[in-house]
A = this chain, B = another copy of it.
Amino acid sequence: MNAVVRRLREQGYRLTPQRMAVLQAVLKGPGHLSAEDIYQQVADAFPMMSLATVYKTLEVLRDLGEVVELSVEGQARYDGNPRPHVHLICEKCRAVMDWSAEVDFPVAEAAIVASGFRPSYYRLEVYGLCPRCQASDDGKAPVPPQVGLKNGEGRVEEAK
């Protein structure tokens, strides 16, 4: 947190209460929030905060590499942990969870480089159902949102 603040100043960015608030919401709040989520969180302490400012601040943090922007159902989510890690994404409630086990890069990086492509990072997301949504047998239970899930790539053997 202090380290992020330091880097902000080093890069010439000003330290404003709004930026501190967004930063805190992203780093200390429940992770993987949307811009709107962050706006709501911050609105408590800063009722005058504008949603546009939230977006602008997140853009700054993203360009600095302090937060990672991911996309869930076409909506941006922000991760305060910029280190590469796997995400488990629930197709029903859209919750995003970290899978913090060490994962070997699944593709031979050398082979990709040899092909002429220059990789910089990768993104690995596992889609499925979170425990809570499995329990609720048909949508009767309190499972917040739901929309038709998008199809993806790479089918995995169905767990039985």
Contact = CB atoms under 8 A, between A and B. Distances in A.
Interface in A93-131: 95-109, 111-113, 115-131
Contacts of A106: 86, 103-104, 106, 124
A76 interface: yes
Given A71-B74, A159-B109, A159-B119, A79 B153 contact: yes
Copies in the assembly, this chain:
2
Given A105-B148, A106-B106, A156 B116 contact: no
A139 interface: no
A126 to B, nearest CB: 4
B157 A109 contact: yes
A124 B85 contact: no
A159 B96 contact: yes
A117 B109 CA distance: 29
Contacts of A79: 153
Contact of A131 (B85, B116, B153): B116
A17 interface: no
A86 B156 CA distance: 10
Contacts of A101: 107-108, 111, 151-155
Interface of A: 30-32, 62-63, 65, 67-71, 74, 76, 79, 82-88, 90-91, 95-109, 111-113, 115-131, 134, 143-160
Q: Give the 3 A-B residue pairs with the shortest CB-CB distance, closest first.
A: A101-B154, A84-B154, A106-B106
